[in-house]
A and B are shown apart, each in its own frame.
Chain A
Amino acid sequence: MAILISICLSIFIGIITAEIIAYAPSIARWLIKRAVLKLPEPERDRYLEEWLSHAQELPGNLTKVLHALSCACVGARRIAKLKSGQPSIDERLSQGLTKTLLRAFTWTALCPTTFPALFRFAVTGQTGKFRFLWITQRLLVNTMLHQVVTLKANPVQTQAAVKAQVERVQAILKASQDTGAKKI
């Protein structure tokens, strides 16, 4: 009985495998059609044609499926990222690292100037002034980092952007003082 079951099972598995292999080109075609949907609209027809012609030139049925899987899982995603103009992981890592280092350097440089004032505001309970100085400092540092790292601006442009932010902060400060004076 066991022998009979094993013979039937092997025949059944053989039939199923043969069916799957016979359908492999269709599976590959379906995978490629799904893969190109990840690409930007203008690129779809080009890659559909190219990947299908590549699949047709491959000798084995399973190789066709592997090619299609590779295109679907990796190729399409990478090409989509490339065509959308997003920065690569290397660029993002280097930008992040540069920002962290510059931020640490800037804060260290600013500490001797602003720390005494911040400390005084904190000790005397002047939370409004403390928060204002802290937020302004963060705003100016972040503006500088954005200009230098993300926009790759030159020193003159960076200085202009920081100066514009300072003027904006001064205007806000002046407006709040005016409002305070009116209330009094």
Chain B
Amino acid sequence: MARKEIRISGRMLTMLKYLLSDLRNAHSGAEIYAATKINSGTLYPMLARLEDAGWLSSSSEEIDPAKAGRPRRRYYVLTGLGQSNARAALADLQFNGEPQWQS
């Protein structure tokens, strides 16, 4: 699949920061929503865009929905490309010293 360019918004940065904060575990959409409060209508298209661009990979929970009595969750995790790009995007926001208006 062709890798697409990503336009990074404030909400996307919030989500990337959350995903970067815990790289050991994969996160479901509901967990990301609970942590970032980004509403579902924005969150899922954002996850789809990142997945298409190769920043995220996702996998379904390995359970039998009939036995568990609930639908399977889908877990998202940052890929290597996603990690480096997310770090770069967040680093762009860091101040180097005092802001100009304070000096």
Q: Does B54 contact A (CB under 8 A)?
A: no
- Measured as residues with beta carbon below 8 angstroms from the partner, the interface class of chain A is 20 to 34
Interface size on B, residues (CB 8 A): 22
What residue in chain B is nearest A78 (Cβ atoms)? B45
Q: Does A57 contact B (CB under 8 A)?
A: yes
A70's partner among B41, B71, B72 (CB-CB below 8 A) is: B41
Check A49/B71 contact, CB under 8 A, given A54-B28, A79-B48, A83-B48: yes
B9 to chain A, nearest CB (A): 11
Interface string of A49-70 (1 = CB under 8 A from B): 1111110111000000011001
A75's partner among B41, B70, B72, B74 (CB-CB below 8 A) is: B41
B71 to A47, Cβ gap below 8 A?
A: no
Q: Which residues of A contact B40 (CB under 8 A)?
A: 51, 54, 67, 70-71, 75
Q: Which residues of B contact A41 (CB under 8 A)?
A: none
User: With the chains together, A50 CA to B43 CA distance in Å?
Assistant: 12
A79's partner among B28, B45, B72 (CB-CB below 8 A) is: B45
Q: Does A82 contact B (CB under 8 A)?
A: yes
Within 8 A of B (CB), among A22-60: 46-54, 56-58
State the total of A-B contacts with C-beta under 8 angstroms: 67
Q: Does A135 contact B (CB under 8 A)?
A: no
User: With the chains together, A48 CA to B73 CA distance in Å?
Assistant: 11
Q: Does A73 contact B (CB under 8 A)?
A: yes
A56 to B29, Cβ gap below 8 A?
A: no
Q: Which residues of B contact A58 (CB under 8 A)?
A: 30
Q: Does A122 contact B (CB under 8 A)?
A: no
Check A51/B44 contact, CB under 8 A, given A58-B30, A90-B7: yes
Interface string of B35-62 (1 = CB under 8 A from A): 0000111111100110010000000100
B41 to A50, Cβ gap below 8 A?
A: no
What residue in chain A is nearest B39 (Cβ atoms)? A70
Q: Does A74 contact B (CB under 8 A)?
A: yes
Q: Which residues of A contact B33 (CB under 8 A)?
A: 54
A31 to chain B, nearest CB (A): 11
What residue in chain B is nearest A47 (Cβ atoms)? B44
A75 to B45, Cβ gap below 8 A?
A: yes
B100 to chain A, nearest CB (A): 29
User: With the chains together, A83 CA to B52 CA distance in Å?
Assistant: 9
B44's partner among A49, A53, A57, A71 (CB-CB below 8 A) is: A71
A–B Cβ pairs within 8 angstroms, 30 of them? A46-B60, A49-B71, A49-B72, A50-B73, A51-B40, A51-B44, A52-B71, A53-B74, A54-B33, A54-B40, A56-B70, A57-B30, A58-B30, A67-B39, A67-B40, A70-B42, A71-B40, A71-B41, A74-B41, A74-B42, A75-B41, A75-B43, A75-B44, A75-B45, A78-B45, A79-B45, A79-B48, A82-B49, A82-B52, A83-B48
